[in-house]
Amino acid sequence: MRSKRNKTIDFSLDEASPTLLEQILHPTENIKDAWDRIINGDSFKIMTALSPRQVDLALIDPPYNLNKQYDGLNFKKMTTGQYQKYTQKWIDLLKPLLKDNASVYVFSDWATSMVLAPVLEQNFIIQNRITWQREKGRGSQKNWKNGMEDIWFLTTDPNNYTFNVNQVKQRRQVIAPYKQDGVAKDWQSTSTGKFRDTLPSNFWDDISIPYWSMPENTGHPTQKPEKLLAKIILASSNPGDFVFDPFAGSGSSLVTAAKLNRHYLGIEQSLLYCAWGQYRLNQVKNDQSIQGYTDGVFWERNTLAAQRKIMRHKN
Ligand SMILES: C[S@@+](CC[C@H](N)C(=O)[O-])C[C@H]1O[C@@H](n2cnc3c(N)ncnc32)[C@H](O)[C@@H]1O
């Protein structure tokens, strides 16, 4: 029997309400200028039908170059050349959709990155490569466990792009609080401890993958956490901007964009994943919280009690 604390969204299509399914767009409908929707279909076909130059921020979480099942649909590991062609294909379709000052983030594992990087470099300005230490990973007897992912930060223009660094500060516990003439240097003492709000680096170790007791968790095999997407969306877009995700999965990027008052459009081939995403989107009007992002800053792992205390004080 499933634990009461298990919040995973994993209903079947038979269990989905007809009203929920009706909210999902299909390629036969008018999709050209669709905003704030999920489209169920093949991105490679749908992207050709969308209006150009609308996207401020594209979040690309493509199938990594691995054998993987997505709701019964198989993605088969390709040769280096084939995966590079596959990547170039979605890039060619994406580029006309981007505004001149757009940013693009691409997710990958280390092995896929080796194949991906030369193609990204030919098409975009590579601004950075973020390492996400996602903590969980499958252990191996003959190799090091894979506990990292890459996130490539790309722009179309070398200088003209949005980057709101002050909106993505990380609140860190101060281990050795230093005082100068009796005054705290660069840190603050709060009811829950001594903290410093720091500028974020390209090493992210404060975000775990969604797990079963989190309301955002779904049955999707490679779901990204809302906290991770919130960092990207806050840094690289402004309220009212348009966020696009052509491999939307369970809708994590769309939900996070909606919570942060951005417009969004997602495309996903699996109707089941679209339904989970739409279900999550429908809940945004009741709950805009993003676990780990409280009081306008990103918190370290295992600080939920302190975050709750701060919010109780504020309320
Ligand atoms: C790595 S997962 C994305 C997970 C997503 N970021 C989330 O948080 O749930 C890639 C997704 O792309 C979808 N996909 C693969 N090829 C596609 C295509 N040609 N068109 C639309 N969706 C596709 C898969 O079904 C899968 O859900």
pLDDT at 221 over 80: yes
- What is the band of 309 on the pLDDT scale with cuts at 50, 70, 90? confident
The number of residues in the chain equals 315
Binding site membership of 70 for ligand 1 (Cβ less than 6 Å):
yes
Checking if the pLDDT of 311 tops 90, the result is: no
SS3 254: helix
Q: What is the rounded CA–CA span in Å between residue 148 and residue 156?
A: 26
Burial status of residue 36 (CB atoms within 10 A of its CB: 0-12, 13-18, 19 or more):
middle
Going from the Cα of 307 to the center of ligand 1, the distance in angstroms, rounded, reads 32
All structural domains of the chain with their residue ranges: 18-163+202-289
pTM (two decimals): 0.95
User: What is the pLDDT at residue 138?
Assistant: 76
Confidence of residue 302 (pLDDT cuts 50, 70, 90): confident
pLDDT per position as a tens digit, 19-38: 999 999 999 999 999 999 99
- Answer yes or no: is the C-beta of 61 below 6 A from any ligand 1 atom: yes
Residue 184: the pLDDT is 66
- Ligand 1 contact via 210 beta carbon (within 6 Å): no
Q: Determine if ligand 1 sits within 6 Å of the CB of residue 63.
A: yes
**β-strand 125-133 against 242-245: which pairing, if any?**
unpaired
- Is the distance from CB of 116 to CB of 107 less than 8 angstroms? no
Nearest to 257 by CA among 215, 285, 226: 226
Q: Which of 247, 254, 274 to mutate to test the pocket of ligand 1 (most atoms within 8 A of CB)?
A: 247
67 contact partners, CB below 8 Å, separation of at least 6:
74, 75, 76, 77
Residue 45's pLDDT is what? 97
Q: Is the pLDDT of residue 176 over 80?
A: no
- The residue contributing the CA closest to ligand 1 atom 7 is 223
Looking at the predicted structure, is the pLDDT value of residue 200 above 70?
yes
In 3-state terms the chain splits into helix, strand, coil percentages (rounded to 5) of 30, 25, 45
Given CATH 3.40.50.970, say whether it is the number of domain 18-163+202-289. Answer: no
User: Ligand 1 in contact with 250 (CB < 6 A)?
Assistant: yes
**pLDDT tens digits for 272-286?**
999 999 999 999 999
pLDDT digits (tens, 9 = 90+) for 78-87: 999 999 999 9
